[in-house]
């Protein structure tokens, strides 16, 4: 009797301590979960705080006289050699007539973007009848002006510590008071290729490069991945060979992506002689990278088709091939597509292997085909993140927002495909 008593006492004596432990454990669990979620919150908050302003950009109103003697000397339009920058400068000088001295003037010229001249040229090219008239145009302001207007450059700090001089800030204030500075939607971010001038730099070139790569990747990886999965699930005899393939695929899925870049460099570029920096090569590398993901997902989708379907079809006299292609494949297709979309979103975010095959160059032109030199969206982010200019940090965040937007859309598509087409057995 006393024995039972003591056991109960023992248990009760330890109870408080055990409950405390239980509580601590639980709190630890909550904390751990919170770490991930909290990071996500901080991450998106800083990203949006940093990048949202890049979608709007400061423009400057100018009155430019498209002087015939500059653009079309002798009555002949010469778009290549005409000094449109000179027109911009003249207009600036007229706006601030009291600025004199070479140094001051040079400072004055720097508040307008180097793209202003090109904008005038495009304008004249589109409508030559404007030559000789006075035009009021909105041109992009230099990136430092943009940064000042957005409050990223502090005018209160010492002159030597900021990229704009006191005089330049004075002129900018004058313009601002006259209503000649305005923030507008940053079209250049979506229509231009890369540029050394932040206010002219855009992601179109990189986005097109990514698009071409994804086209190559999806055209190759979906059929190959689906075929491999079908073979391994439906036809492969249980042999060492199929075991080897299986182990292989699982391992390939975990090989670091940069190793695939080395493979691409050695095989596609050095051995096959395909061009460097081309979306074609990038697409091939990403195909090899995403194949394991797609094969694994497709196999799972095929496994999920109940064997009764196969048996019924076989019983009605279908050949094994007919069973697979007429019955199993249509039923497994939604799962395969979901896996493919997930694989594609992984490919879209991948950058390390692309660095290896030379898709990391400074490329201004928007690529027009599969063998044109280009970069990709994530690589553009990497390139911009390395730039020292303050304005590029903002654009990097904006590019990240765009990239994450695309990824979100793809994942959403995957979810929709799964929800819409999935069948429960």
Site for another protein in 291-350 (CB under 8 A): 291-292, 295, 319, 321, 345, 348-350
Element holding 64 (H helix, E strand): strand 56-65
Could you tell me the smallest distance in angstroms from the CB atom of residue 340 to another protein? Answer: 14
The 8-class DSSP code of residue 351 comes to -
Q: Tell me, by CB under 8 A, how many residues bind another protein.
A: 84
Closest approach, Cβ 332 to another protein, in A, equals 14
The reply to whether 421 sits near another protein by the rule CB under 8 A is no
- Which one among 13, 48, 258, 416 touches another protein, defined by CB under 8 A? 258
- List 35, 134, 178, 412, residue binding another protein (CB under 8 A): 35
Can you tell me the distance from the alpha carbon of 374 to that of 402, in angstroms, rounded to the nearest whole number? Answer: 18
Nearer to another protein among residue 227 and residue 416 (C-beta): 227
Rule CB under 8 A: say whether 251 interacts with another protein: yes
Which residues, including other chains, have CB under 8 Å from residue 156's CB and lie 6 or more apart?
none
Only one of the segments 123-131, 162-170, 204-212, 270-278 lies at the binding site for another protein (rule: CB under 8 A); that segment is 270-278
Pick between residue 37 and residue 156 the one whose CB is nearest to another protein.
37
**Beta bridge partners of residue 181, listed in sequence order:** 60
Which residue in this structure is represented by tokens 């991450």? 43
The piece of 64-72, 101-109, 199-207, 352-360 that touches another protein (CB under 8 A) is 352-360
Q: Work out which of 256, 330, 368, 405 binds another protein, going by CB under 8 A.
A: 256
For residues 149 and 354, which CB has a smaller minimum distance to another protein in the complex? Answer: 354
- Residue of 161, 174, 141 whose CA lies nearest to 57: 141
135-143, 174-182, 188-196, 264-272 -> range binding another protein (CB under 8 A): 264-272
218 binds another protein (CB under 8 A): no
Alpha-carbon 170 to chain mean position: 37
Told to check if 10 binds another protein by CB under 8 A, we report no
Site residues for another protein, window 222-241 (CB under 8 A)? 223-225, 227-228, 230-232, 235-236
Do residues 61 and 172 make contact, with C-beta atoms less than 8 angstroms apart? no
Q: Interface with another protein includes 210 (CB under 8 A)?
A: no
Residue 403 touching another protein (CB under 8 A): yes
Burial string for 63-101 (b: 16+ CB within 10 Å, else e) reads: ebebbeeebbeeeeeeeeebebbebbbebbeebbeeeee
Pair 414, 335: CB distance under 8 Å: no
Three-state secondary structure call for residue 184 = strand
Q: What gap in Å lies between CA 182 and CA 202, rounded to an integer? A: 20
Helix, strand or coil, per DSSP, at residue 82: coil
Q: CA 282, CA 276: separation in Å to the nearest integer?
A: 9
CA nearest 87: which of 51, 55, 56, 119?
Answer: 119
Range list of H helices, 254-376 = 257-263, 279-303, 307-315, 320-322, 329-349, 352-356
Using CB under 8 A as the binding rule, whether residue 21 contacts another protein is answered as yes
Q: Contacting another protein (CB under 8 A), which of 99, 114, 211, 267? A: 267
Question: In the set 70, 130, 259, 413, which binds another protein (CB under 8 A)?
Answer: 259
Helix (H, G, I), strand (E, B) or coil at 78: coil
Cα angle at 297 between 294 and 300, to 5 degrees? 145
Answer for which of 8, 10, 13, 39 binds another protein (CB under 8 A) is 39
Q: In angstroms, give the least distance from the CB of 269 to another protein.
A: 10
**Residue range at the interface with another protein (CB under 8 A); choices 33-41, 127-135, 161-169, 178-186:** 33-41
Q: Identify the CA nearest to 71 among candidates 58, 62, 84.
A: 84
91, 95, 351, 375: residue in contact with another protein (rule CB under 8 A): 351
- The 3-state DSSP class for residue 183 equals strand
User: With respect to another protein, which residue has the nearer C-beta, 146 or 394?
Assistant: 394
404 interacts with another protein by CB under 8 A: yes
Applying CB under 8 A, the span of 106-114, 142-150, 165-173, 255-263 interacting with another protein comes to 255-263
Residues 361-380 that bind another protein (CB under 8 A): 378-379
Task: Decide if residue 28 touches another protein (CB under 8 A).
Answer: yes
For another protein, the closer of residues 333 and 407 by Cβ is 407
């Amino acid at each position: 009797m006393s024995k039972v008593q003591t056991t109960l006492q023992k248990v009760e004596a330890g109870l408080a301590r055990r409950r405390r432990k239980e509580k601590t454990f639980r709190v630890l669990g909550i904390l751990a979960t919170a770490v991930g979620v909290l990071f996500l919150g901080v991450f998106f908050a800083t990203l949006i705080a940093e990048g949202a302003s890049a979608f709007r950009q400061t423009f400057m109103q100018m009155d430019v006289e498209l002087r015939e003697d500059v653009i079309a000397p002798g009555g002949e339009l010469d778009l290549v050699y005409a000094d449109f920058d000179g027109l911009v400068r003249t207009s600036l000088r007229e706006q601030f007539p009291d600025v004199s001295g070479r140094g001051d003037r040079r400072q004055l010229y720097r508040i307008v973007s180097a793209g202003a001249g090109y904008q005038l040229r495009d304008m004249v090219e589109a409508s030559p009848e404007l030559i000789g008239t006075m035009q009021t145009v909105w041109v992009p302001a230099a990136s430092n002006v943009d940064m000042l207007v957005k409050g990223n450059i502090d005018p209160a700090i010492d002159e030597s510590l900021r990229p704009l001089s006191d005089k330049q800030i004075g002129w900018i204030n004058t313009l601002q008071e006259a209503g000649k500075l305005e923030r507008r939607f940053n079209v250049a971010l979506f229509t231009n290729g890369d540029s050394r001038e932040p206010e002219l730099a855009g992601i179109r070139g990189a986005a097109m490069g990514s698009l071409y790569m994804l086209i190559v990747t999806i055209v190759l990886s979906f059929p190959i991945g689906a075929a491999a999965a079908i073979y391994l699930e439906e036809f492969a005899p249980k042999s060492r060979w199929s075991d080897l393939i299986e182990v292989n695929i699982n391992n390939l899925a975990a090989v670091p992506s940069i190793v695939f870049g080395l493979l691409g460099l050695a095989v596609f570029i050095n051995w096959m002689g395909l061009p460097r920096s081309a979306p074609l090569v990038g697409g091939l590398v990403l195909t090899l990278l995403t194949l394991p993901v797609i094969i694994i997902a497709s196999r799972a989708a095929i496994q999920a088709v109940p064997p009764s379907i196969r048996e019924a079809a076989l019983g009605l006299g279908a050949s094994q091939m007919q069973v697979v292609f007429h019955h199993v494949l249509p039923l497994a297709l939604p799962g395969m597509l979901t896996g493919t979309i997930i694989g594609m979103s992984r490919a879209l975010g991948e950058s390390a292997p692309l660095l290896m095959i030379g898709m990391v160059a400074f490329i201004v032109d928007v690529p027009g085909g599969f063998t044109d030199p280009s970069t990709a969206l994530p690589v553009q982010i990497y390139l911009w993140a390395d730039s020292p200019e303050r304005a590029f940090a903002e654009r990097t965040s904006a590019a990240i927002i765009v990239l994450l937007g695309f990824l979100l859309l793809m994942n959403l598509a995957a979810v929709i495909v799964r929800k819409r087409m999935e069948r429960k057995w």
